Amino acid sequence: MAEQQPLLRVRQPWVFRERKDVLNELSDNELIKRYRLDREGIIFVTDLVRPVLLRPTVANKALTPEQKVIITLSSTTPAEKGKIWEVAGFPEVVGAIDGTHIGIVKPSEFEVEYVNRKRYHSINVQVVFDAKHNIIDLETRWPGSVHDSCILNESGLKRMFETGAVPAGCHLLGDSGAHEKTRSVVERGIGQWKRRFHVLHSEIRLTPTAKVCKIIFVCAVLHNICKDRNIQLLFEDDPGHDQPPAEDNIQMAANDDDDDQVEPPPVGYQARDGLPYREEFARLHFQ
């Protein structure tokens, strides 16, 4: 009986489906609905990172930089500071500061440190907005259990004030009991930011948490680009005209951690004469 020869596999040729040219086929409204940016905004973002995304070959129909940006946007130069003191006549205030929690999946390491006071896992993000709701400073590396005051005390922002990088006489506005009209800047800013990028309004399902921090930071940069280019929130993203949306099933609405129930600072934390400073500031400027 003759020995059977092994069958040779015939390699099938690669078949590439023609990619849709969404930049030219979709309207600006449709692009904003899908990717949060219009055509010019997508090109603007692509130009910022084009040298990193370019490949030296077109073999195997490599993705263009624009296509890579669009794919990234589908899965997810700060602007000039606004004059926040003009909002309600509060002098020498360069920004409004607050903390907000971004929900995450249960991490595999140090899990208990990410459980916040509302009992879900999160990153506690310190964010500063100017009067035009641009994000001018961001801290994204702290677990949900860390108190806002500790984040500020360890932040580069605090060191900028201490070393004179921020001009003398400038102030940040914080605290839920502070000047209500000016403070609404940060509450509205957080609301717009989270509604523009819904991934911030639910639960980011990525590990490790370092990836989550990068997503939060990128969303902040894209938010500023949208503000700078005057790309408006879509109607379905903006219920109530900039008012925070209702809380969802895990209580992570835009201002869910900005209520009037002030969480006590951790044991051993020493306030640095904050209350006397605030009282003296108010006396000098409002009496």
The number of residues making up the chain comes to 287
165: CB partners within 8 A, 6+ apart: 159
Predicted confidence (pLDDT) at residue 277 exceeds the cutoff of 60: no
- For residue range 38-59, list pLDDT tens digits in order: 999 999 999 988 888 876 655 5
Taking residues 227-235, what's their average pLDDT? 84
How many whole angstroms separate alpha carbon 16 and alpha carbon 259?
53
Provide mean pLDDT across the span 154-166.
85
One-letter amino acid at 229 equals R
**What single DSSP character describes residue 229?**
T
Is the model's pTM score more than 0.75? no
For the chain, domain boundaries: 22-74, 84-261+272-286
Q: In the sheet that 122-129 helps form, which strands lie side by side, from edge to edge?
A: 135-143, 122-129, 93-103, 171-173
> In angstroms, rounded to a whole number, what is the distance separating the alpha carbons of residues 58 and 286?
65
3-state secondary structure at position 122? strand
Q: Is the peptide bond before 56 cis (omega within 30 degrees of 0)?
A: no
pLDDT value of residue 167 = 76
- Please say if the pLDDT value at position 27 is more than 50: yes
